[in-house]
Chains A and B, each alone.
Chain A
Amino acid sequence: MIENLTAAAYLAAGALFIFSLRWMSHPKTARRGVVAGVAGMTAAVGGTLLHPEIVGFEWIAIAVVIGTAIGVPLSRVALTAVPQRTAISHAFGGLAAGLVGTAKYILWLPEGELTGFRMGAISLEVLLGFLTFTGSLMAAGKLQEVIPTRPITYRGQNVINLGLLGVALLCGIGLVLDPTQWFLFPLLIGLSLAFGVLLIIPIGGADMPTVISLLNSYAGLAAVAMGYVLENKVLIIAGALDGASGLILSIIMCRAMNRSFSNVLFGAFGQVQGGPADAVERKPVKSATAQDVAELLELAREVVIVPGYGLAVAQAQHRAFELYEQLTKRGIRCRFAIHPVAGRMPGHMNVLLAEANVPYDALVEMDDINPDLGQVDVAIVVGANDVVNPAARHDKSSPIYGMPIIDVDKCKTVIANKRTMNPGFAGIDNELYTADNTLMLFGDAKAALGDVVKALSGESGLGH
């Protein structure tokens, strides 16, 4: 009887999780998705608590209190810190999977219950779980900048990493053949933990969006492996959904940077630059004042703002919204062009701008806005660099060649805000700044946009 109740609760949970993700297809229904997710989780946990094998609830209760005490503050972090929070939660997911796998090994070993199938599933669960754990902690450390964000490389790195993974897999195979070779188990755990660290240290800060997505996928697959170990289908369903989501997001991120998985994982991007770009003589740039920019905007009919992560670093999201408001008030069409890798994780820039009050219908994806850019009078580039660098289209020697970009150079006028003329994150020169239709607005993004807004609102007070 109780078994059927539990099974029905799991079935309901599986269906609710699918609905939850379906409703994420549009901002209008998305919050309903959260409700469905919570309902599914409640059903699954409720069904589990009925389990007759549970003899005491005290440890479960303590763990729930601890988890809530950590979880609530983690949900209140600044939105710029959401990527770190996400990485930490991948780490927790991986840790839980690794620990459950370990506990199952310890329980089943003396009972002689370790069939080849179970041992194989446990080995995979432990490998994926623990490598996700340390890998995600490393990613969180890089995002929080407590660990150097530049790639750390050494000779023979890829050989060592793959060798380590190979040995870990051999440990797993050894355990499947003979589970009583217990010393292989701690070795497997140690190797998985070490592999997670070594996998992430050669990856640069610019690749973090892809890495977070990939770790998301690993965390999901670890949950699937746990489902196989516990013979629990709702775990397999939820893990598969999570794994699919992480994989799709990593593919989108890779495409947005025109890179392959192996290139992200083994390429150590953002380290060695240079070559012809350094040799090119710099053309002079034209600079403009906030007043000039305001006058230009007054005459425009269509304006596009291209934000990069630099906008968030300068805390200029609210100024960007004020500018949007000033322009919209005058009947000027103003939209934001969002590159898929603007920000530190997939979709990050949308969240940062939504927080600053920008309505979501003004946030337009790169592929949707590029065809319109020929008709745009003024493009304002703030805190973005490589994602608007025309060299990606034509300069085969450029490290970003082939990366899809927002074609702001096709707009009638480009205003580029930068602090100084130093090259951007990836250390690549940007010919956009010296183009004939580009004006540079130097200064901190927050102050510069603030001055433009002031100039605009001042004028409206005098004239119109």
Chain B
Amino acid sequence: MHSVDFWSMTFVFMLAAFVGFDVIRNVSRLLHTPLMSLTNAISAIAVVGSIIIAGEQKTTLSTVLGTIAVAASVTNIVSGFLITDRMLKMFHQQGQKR
């Protein structure tokens, strides 16, 4: 592990945090509940790490842990996106049919 990788990852982290604060600050307050379920689904991107551990099958224990982690992440992806969309469908303007 080169220290260059650490710094480049930290740069990515810093930039993403700034983008995050900026983008989230502009989210309509009306939508803070759907926002939370959406970011929940997005941070379930942890699934990519879990998939490799469950798929490389190096030891039984690591495969079991990876499989549980994939199941937990997929739960968040599926329920997060579905419920966000379900809530957003309910928002409509005056005089507009939903």
Chain A residues in the interface with B (C-beta under 8 A): 10, 13-14, 17-18, 20-22, 24-27, 30-31, 33-34, 37-38, 40-41, 44-45, 47-49, 51, 53-57, 59-60, 62-64, 66-68, 70-72, 74-77, 79, 82, 85-86, 89-90, 92-93, 95-97, 99-100, 102-104, 106-107, 115, 117-118, 212-213, 216, 219-220, 223-224, 226-249, 252, 340, 345-348, 350-351, 354-355, 357, 359-363, 365
Docked complex Cα distance between A169 and B37 (Å): 30
B1 CB contacts on chain A under 8 angstroms: 115, 117-118, 231
Determine whether the beta carbon of A100 is less than 8 Å from that of B53: yes
Docked complex Cα distance between A170 and B62 (Å): 25
Determine whether the beta carbon of B84 is less than 8 Å from that of A34: yes
Among B1, B41, B58, B59, chain A packs the most CB atoms within 10 A around the CB of B41
Among A18, A102, A340, A354, chain B packs the most CB atoms within 10 A around the CB of A354
Contacts A82-B37, A86-B37 given: A243-B55 contact, CB under 8 Å? Answer: no
Docked complex Cα distance between A104 and B79 (Å): 27
Chain A min CB distance to B16 (Å): 4
Contacts A30-B88, A106-B62 given: A63-B31 contact, CB under 8 Å? Answer: no
Interface string of B74-86 (1 = CB under 8 A from A): 1111111111111
B77 CB contacts on chain A under 8 angstroms: 41, 67, 71
Docked complex Cα distance between A42 and B36 (Å): 20
Determine whether the beta carbon of A21 is less than 8 Å from that of B23: yes
Docked complex Cα distance between A191 and B38 (Å): 30
Docked complex Cα distance between A219 and B87 (Å): 22
Determine whether the beta carbon of B29 is less than 8 Å from that of A242: no
Docked complex Cα distance between A359 and B90 (Å): 9
A245 CB contacts on chain B under 8 angstroms: 20, 24, 35-36, 39
Chain A min CB distance to B70 (Å): 4
Determine whether the beta carbon of B78 is less than 8 Å from that of A75: yes
Contacts A40-B42, A93-B72 given: A351-B87 contact, CB under 8 Å? Answer: yes
B67 CB contacts on chain A under 8 angstroms: 59-60, 62-63
A26, A71, A347, A359: the one contacting B74 at CB < 8 Å is: A71
Determine whether the beta carbon of B90 is less than 8 Å from that of A351: yes
Determine whether the beta carbon of B28 is less than 8 Å from that of A25: yes
Chain A min CB distance to B44 (Å): 6
Determine whether the beta carbon of A348 is less than 8 Å from that of B33: yes
Determine whether the beta carbon of A41 is less than 8 Å from that of B88: no
Interface string of B1-44 (1 = CB under 8 A from A): 10001100100110011011101111111111111111111111
A56 CB contacts on chain B under 8 angstroms: 55, 57
Nearest chain B residue, comparing its CB with the CB of A77? B83
Determine whether the beta carbon of B13 is less than 8 Å from that of A95: no
Chain B residues in the interface with A (C-beta under 8 A): 1, 5-6, 9, 12-13, 16-17, 19-21, 23-59, 61-63, 65-96, 98
B52 CB contacts on chain A under 8 angstroms: 48, 51, 53-54, 230
Contacts A41-B41, A96-B69 given: A360-B92 contact, CB under 8 Å? Answer: yes
Nearest chain B residue, comparing its CB with the CB of A40? B42
B17 CB contacts on chain A under 8 angstroms: 240, 243-244
A10, A71, A224, A340: the one contacting B76 at CB < 8 Å is: A71
Chain A min CB distance to B31 (Å): 6
Docked complex Cα distance between A31 and B7 (Å): 36
Contacts A212-B36, A223-B45, A241-B19 given: A92-B55 contact, CB under 8 Å? Answer: no
B62 CB contacts on chain A under 8 angstroms: 103, 106-107
Contacts A64-B70, A86-B36, A346-B33 given: A224-B61 contact, CB under 8 Å? Answer: no
Determine whether the beta carbon of A223 is less than 8 Å from that of B93: no
B40, B44, B81, B88: the one contacting A86 at CB < 8 Å is: B40
Among A17, A18, A49, chain B packs the most CB atoms within 10 A around the CB of A17
Determine whether the beta carbon of B55 is less than 8 Å from that of A57: yes
Docked complex Cα distance between A115 and B89 (Å): 48
Nearest chain B residue, comparing its CB with the CB of A102? B65
A57 CB contacts on chain B under 8 angstroms: 55
A63, A77, A97, A363: the one contacting B30 at CB < 8 Å is: A363
Docked complex Cα distance between A75 and B37 (Å): 10
A62 CB contacts on chain B under 8 angstroms: 67
Determine whether the beta carbon of B75 is less than 8 Å from that of A67: yes
B16, B30, B43, B61: the one contacting A93 at CB < 8 Å is: B43
Docked complex Cα distance between A438 and B37 (Å): 39
Determine whether the beta carbon of B75 is less than 8 Å from that of A347: no
Given contacts A64-B70, A249-B35, 5 further A-B contacts (CB under 8 A): A63-B68, A70-B75, A95-B68, A99-B65, A100-B46
B76 CB contacts on chain A under 8 angstroms: 71, 89, 92-93, 96
